[in-house]
Homo-oligomer: A and B are copies of this chain.
């Protein structure tokens, strides 16, 4: 039976998180590695108890089959979670890395050294494994984390976090490094948004309304994306076969992820020949397409795409199509409608690709690749706690390196400033 060490009062819980941060932030890489291996082992060992807690959630759950499936834990899914924790354990240590070092004329040696951020707050409404992944990434990077999962997965998350805390304690680290908010009261979310100085960074993950609310109301810095309104632009110098493969993948591999393409931009010069082929492909994959007036002039059977369609993150087998004039037209469209997430250009023309990549203000820009590659795993980060469309600190996939900040260490031999 896993010990329930949870603190009932959020203020006390945040104080405990800070004290735990003071310990884990100066712990050795070996100790953090050991904690993660112990956590993987606890997740496996306490499978019966965790699945029991999950049954409690499922008993009260209401929703469609997809929702219930996301909520359901199985022996296999616990195994997958444990393996994900082990993969994070195997990553190189992101803490204490000398990022830059230089010597000043007066002999002072200045080092920029990576260091954990502090106490992270995470508000999520996704599957229970998101909490375990986030906990593992924070432990690896020497941070403490406070999790506030959806009320529908409350018992599952509490149970998983008891296993995580056991793993931490077995490695000699404070259990309070990872804590879950001890009730489902929505007031806790508001308290977290106003916890300046107690929580150093908030990471919301979930639907647009949750993330937008956090972004608008939070007094604590936020890393997140409210939307992934990604574009794929097929330039006039694209090869048709590559455009077909990349476009189909960018939209339809998994239409519901934030890196899925929502709008296809087609260069006017090749639209008459490319559009019918691309739309036929997409129709064959079950994707519904809408086009602007220029697209419908080429393909009159297309449904019309309205102004608001181009501002819509479909997250579904739906695609908006606009005909644009070259790189400049594509960049202008993206500046107007994009959400700063991921944009791709398909072209054989290097100058056009470079100009596109510099011309859009998004976190991730791609040349001849599917926008669905915007993912911490695909970037080689070994996992991600989220994706940021903000301009500061971290952009794109947020992995363990992005969960660190830095300090300057200045070494002298008694220098005084003239």
Min C-beta distance of A330 to chain B, whole Å? 14
Give the residues from 346 to 361 in chain A that come closer than 8 angstroms, CB to CB, to chain B.
353, 357-359, 361
Interface membership of A324, Cβ < 8 A: no
- Known contacts A104-B378, A391-B200, A410-B364, A369 near B415 by CB under 8 Å: yes
- Known contacts A358-B26, A367-B409, A395-B407, A416 near B110 by CB under 8 Å: no
Contacts of A117 in B (CB 8 A): 391-392
Tell me if A's interface is mostly helix, strand, loop or mixed.
Answer: mixed
- Which one of B108, B242, B396 contacts A414 once the chains associate, using CB atoms below 8 Å? B242
Min C-beta distance of A161 to chain B, whole Å? 24
- In the assembled complex, the Cα of A366 lies from the Cα of B380 at a distance in Å of 35
Interface membership of A22, Cβ < 8 A: yes
Asked if A365 and B246 make an inter-chain contact with CB atoms under 8 angstroms apart, the answer reads no
- In the assembled complex, the Cα of A159 lies from the Cα of B118 at a distance in Å of 44
**Count of interface residues, chain A, beta-carbon cutoff 8 Å:** 63
Interface string of A102-141 (1 = CB under 8 A from B): 1010001010000001100000000000000000000000
- Known contacts A117-B392, A364-B410, A370 near B417 by CB under 8 Å: yes
Asked if A380 and B102 make an inter-chain contact with CB atoms under 8 angstroms apart, the answer reads yes
- In the assembled complex, the Cα of A410 lies from the Cα of B363 at a distance in Å of 11
Interface membership of A31, Cβ < 8 A: no
Contacts of A407 in B (CB 8 A): 357, 362-365, 395-396
Asked if A416 and B253 make an inter-chain contact with CB atoms under 8 angstroms apart, the answer reads yes
Number of copies: 2
- Known contacts A365-B410, A411-B367, A416 near B249 by CB under 8 Å: yes
Asked if A392 and B368 make an inter-chain contact with CB atoms under 8 angstroms apart, the answer reads no
Interface membership of A282, Cβ < 8 A: no
Contacts of A393 in B (CB 8 A): 392-393
Question: Whose C-beta in chain B lies nearest to the C-beta of A360?
Answer: B407
Min C-beta distance of A397 to chain B, whole Å? 8
Contacts of A366 in B (CB 8 A): 409-412
Contacts of A219 in B (CB 8 A): 216
Asked if A405 and B395 make an inter-chain contact with CB atoms under 8 angstroms apart, the answer reads yes
- In the assembled complex, the Cα of A22 lies from the Cα of B328 at a distance in Å of 12
- In the assembled complex, the Cα of A418 lies from the Cα of B372 at a distance in Å of 10
Asked if A365 and B409 make an inter-chain contact with CB atoms under 8 angstroms apart, the answer reads yes
- In the assembled complex, the Cα of A363 lies from the Cα of B110 at a distance in Å of 13
Interface membership of A373, Cβ < 8 A: yes
Most chain B CB within 10 A, of A108, A216, A395, is at A108
Asked if B412 and A367 make an inter-chain contact with CB atoms under 8 angstroms apart, the answer reads yes
Contacts of A361 in B (CB 8 A): 25, 118
Min C-beta distance of A160 to chain B, whole Å? 27
Contacts of A335 in B (CB 8 A): 22
Interface membership of A53, Cβ < 8 A: no
- In the assembled complex, the Cα of A366 lies from the Cα of B411 at a distance in Å of 6
Contacts of A353 in B (CB 8 A): 411
Interface membership of A147, Cβ < 8 A: no
- In the assembled complex, the Cα of A410 lies from the Cα of B367 at a distance in Å of 6
- In the assembled complex, the Cα of A359 lies from the Cα of B396 at a distance in Å of 31
- Which one of B110, B395, B405 contacts A406 once the chains associate, using CB atoms below 8 Å? B395
Give the residues from 1 to 16 in chain A that come closer than 8 angstroms, CB to CB, to chain B.
none
Question: Whose C-beta in chain B lies nearest to the C-beta of A375?
Answer: B417
Asked if A392 and B405 make an inter-chain contact with CB atoms under 8 angstroms apart, the answer reads yes
- Which one of B250, B367, B413 contacts A368 once the chains associate, using CB atoms below 8 Å? B413
Give the residues from 237 to 287 in chain A that come closer than 8 angstroms, CB to CB, to chain B.
239, 242, 245-246, 248-250, 253
Asked if B392 and A245 make an inter-chain contact with CB atoms under 8 angstroms apart, the answer reads no
